[in-house]
Amino acid sequence: MNGERELYNALVDGIAVAAVAGYYPQRFVKMMEQQNVVSLCKQFVKSGELQSGLRRLNDMGLIEHSLEHLVAHDERFKGLFTKMEREAAVWRLSQLTEPVG
């Protein structure tokens, strides 16, 4: 449970940073209030669609505050996600640098 609380706090911190930069992910915040944060992260990384929020964070230079970055690269949360889930997060991040079309 401690890892879940730490993940929640890391996401809240990232939301605060994004808000200061001019982006507040209202839908994501609402989802965080309604779901378990680990389950929510798993749902996002398994999605084939890149959400607009992820693209927006990337465009703002704040990708390290994305849930994908936390899942893929933050050692504090490694135990909360399977290897496949972490790899899915890495894949999603890699798609941000791929040319469109």
Please report which confidence band the pLDDT of residue 67 belongs to, taking 50, 70 and 90 as the band edges.
very high
| pLDDT for residue 101 is more than 50 | no
pLDDT per position as a tens digit, 2-59: 799 999 999 999 999 999 999 999 999 999 999 999 999 999 999 878 888 999 999 9
pLDDT per position as a tens digit, 76-89: 999 999 999 999 99
pTM for this prediction: 0.90
Decide: 63 and 90 in contact? Cβ < 8 Å. Answer: no
- Please give the pLDDT value at position 86: 97
